[in-house]
Structure 1
Amino acid sequence: MIFDSHAHYDDEAFKNDLEEVIDKIKRAGVNRVLNCGADLKSCITTTELTHKYDFIYGAVGIHPHSADEVFNNINKIGDMLQNEKIQAVGEIGLDYYYDTHDRNLQIKAFKEQMDLAKQLDFPVVIHDRDAHEDTLKVIKEFKGVKGVLHCYSGSLEFAKEILKEDYYLGFTGVVTFKNAKKAIEVVQHIPLDKILIETDCPYMAPVPHRGERNDSSYLLHVADKIAQIKGIGYDEVCKATYENASTLFRL
């Protein structure tokens, strides 16, 4: 029983063997996948995937790298949210890692989509890279919206602030890396009922597959690492994270 709470199976990396990958992850015990859009094109392909595969659900939204797409397409995103298998607005948020993306534009696009989620009563999937302070400000501005900070990369102190807003934290294969001290500390100290597991595939493959194309079958390594960190059973982690994601995404 595994719920991959963040994947990109419409990515070009899967164009030649998606059917084989789908069969592989089903055999690995993956019961649910949330495929996340990042621009208008991938929102459309995400919706198509949800129609084709019964265990794949979707999130539609515009990533901060494509923030300029938001303003002319916000109504299209709202229309996509009417699809019965679209469960969230995402992936949205802020990314300050690169200097080439206008921060004010990102914030405006983020707020526009948070407002859509609030109006239509949908949870959100948030991308936050090197933008912790501004991300928290926006989250606090939109009280009542629930969601997850996917691929969590912040400190324990920041995690505690996010949990006060009743959000979840998503963990990828990064938690298995030797230099993942911050992620391990956060997993160790936050409640299990606030943790989701995810691939962010085709990226972020865990040890012992680091550097390979990631897929949901590798989540067993993430769940096993979290079990080790918290000193609990692997099955307990899988069950809890499955229930957490199902609760957030109303499945």
Structure 2
Amino acid sequence: MTLRVMDSHCHLQDEDFSPDRDAVYQRAIQEGVGVIVPGYTMDSSEKAVAFAKSHDAAWALVGVHPHDSRLFSEDPDLHQLRDWVKNQQRVVGIGEIGLDYHYDHSPRDVQRRVFEAQLALARDLGVPASVHTREAEEDTLAIIRSVGWKMGVIHCFTGTAAFAEAVLDLGWHISFSGAITFKSAHDLRAVVPLVPMNRLLIETDSPYLSPVPWRGQRNEPLRVIRVAEVVAAQKNCLTQQVFDNTLSNTLSLFSVSPNIG
């Protein structure tokens, strides 16, 4: 098959998909939807690698989310992340990493240290990073600038126009999720036209953030099509243009081939 669109961030390794994981995946690929599956703990990263190895239209990222950065150890965890990237063909980057000052499940100084260490690893290995940031925009930008790595994406973007401009100035990509379909997301939708087509990605962040009209239900990769439709409406273009451009951007950023099987 040939991919026609990519869900650049979905957690198909999650327990939420245990009852019907392969059925969810099959629904996606039947419509030409490929998937990038990020880890967020060491265990979920290992599961992401295993899923990608056994599914032709799936690729993995490995990393530790800021919620769990208090559990991160540079030895052995950083070494294990390096090993996965270097030795597993289906691992195409570092993620999901970043900062989250909304919940503060890990101390902020620990979050910053672990984020910087993992982003530096991405730089040293020459692979992209998928970054989560919530109520931590200034520190996120500061660490990206400090590490000096321009190959990455702010996933599930929910920030301001000013933050988007700063991210783009750093050479990074921006990914929109089903959050742009929510009735209250007027300001977020207004950011979409500011993101050039060559820096734009789309995602579901499954099993979270199911777009309208499925809000409140478990999300799945197939619904990235709905995200594309809303992006197209904001950009006043055809949905197919969003498919084509975001597919090309995702394949390029993560060095993935569009031809499967």
- Mapped partners of 1:70, 1:130: distance in 2: 25
Alignment of 1:148-227 (within 5 A): 148-227=153-232
Alignment of 1:61-210 (within 5 A): 61-68=63-70, 69-72=72-75, 73-82=77-86, 83-210=88-215
- Mapped partners of 1:247, 1:150: distance in 2: 16
Q: Which runs of 4 or more aligned residues in structure 1 lie more than 3 Å from their structure 2 counterparts after TM superposition?
A: none
- Mapped partners of 2:74, 2:65: distance in 1: 13
TM-score, normalised via structure 1 length: 0.97
Structure 1 residue 34, shift from structure 2 partner? 0.5
Encode CA deviations 1:29-59: one digit per residue, 9 max, x unaligned. 21x2100000000110011001110110010
Structure 1 residue 189, shift from structure 2 partner? 1.9
1:4 aligned partner: 7
1:19 aligned partner: 22
Q: Which moved more, 1:191-200 or 1:138-147?
A: 138-147
Q: Which moved more, 1:163-172 or 1:142-151?
A: 142-151
2:248 to 215, 236, 243: 243
Structure 1 residue 114, shift from structure 2 partner? 1.1
RMSD of Structure 2 on Structure 1 (CA): 1.0
- Mapped partners of 1:63, 1:99: distance in 2: 12
- Mapped partners of 1:92, 1:146: distance in 2: 14
SS in 2 for 1:6: coil
Structure 1 residue 142, shift from structure 2 partner? 1.7
- Mapped partners of 1:76, 1:219: distance in 2: 31
2:259 aligned partner: none
1:229 aligned partner: 234
Give the count of matched residue pairs.
250
TM-score, normalised via structure 2 length: 0.93
SS in 2 for 1:212: coil
Structure 1 residue 115, shift from structure 2 partner? 1.2
Structure 1 residue 23, shift from structure 2 partner? 1.4
SS in 2 for 1:207: coil
- Structure 1's unaligned 5+ residue stretches are none
Sort the Cα spacing of 1:168 and 1:70 in 2 relative to 1 into closer, same or farther, 3 A: farther
Alignment of 1:10-49 (within 5 A): 10-30=13-33, 32-49=34-51
Encode CA deviations 1:216-240: one digit per residue, 9 max, x unaligned. 1111111000111110001000100
- Mapped partners of 1:123, 1:19: distance in 2: 27
- Mapped partners of 1:100, 1:7: distance in 2: 22
Sort the Cα spacing of 1:76 and 1:237 in 2 relative to 1 into closer, same or farther, 3 A: same
Alignment of 1:49-68 (within 5 A): 49-68=51-70
Letter in 1 for 2:215: R
Sequence identity (%):
34
Are the aligned partners of 1:188 and 1:229 in contact in 2 as well (CA < 8 Å)?
yes
Encode CA deviations 1:144-186: one digit per residue, 9 max, x unaligned. 3410000001100110011011100111000111111222111
- Mapped partners of 2:222, 2:26: distance in 1: 10
Structure 1 residue 100, shift from structure 2 partner? 4.1
SS in 2 for 1:126: strand
Letter in 1 for 2:120: D
Are the aligned partners of 1:124 and 1:147 in contact in 2 as well (CA < 8 Å)?
yes
- Mapped partners of 2:56, 2:40: distance in 1: 21
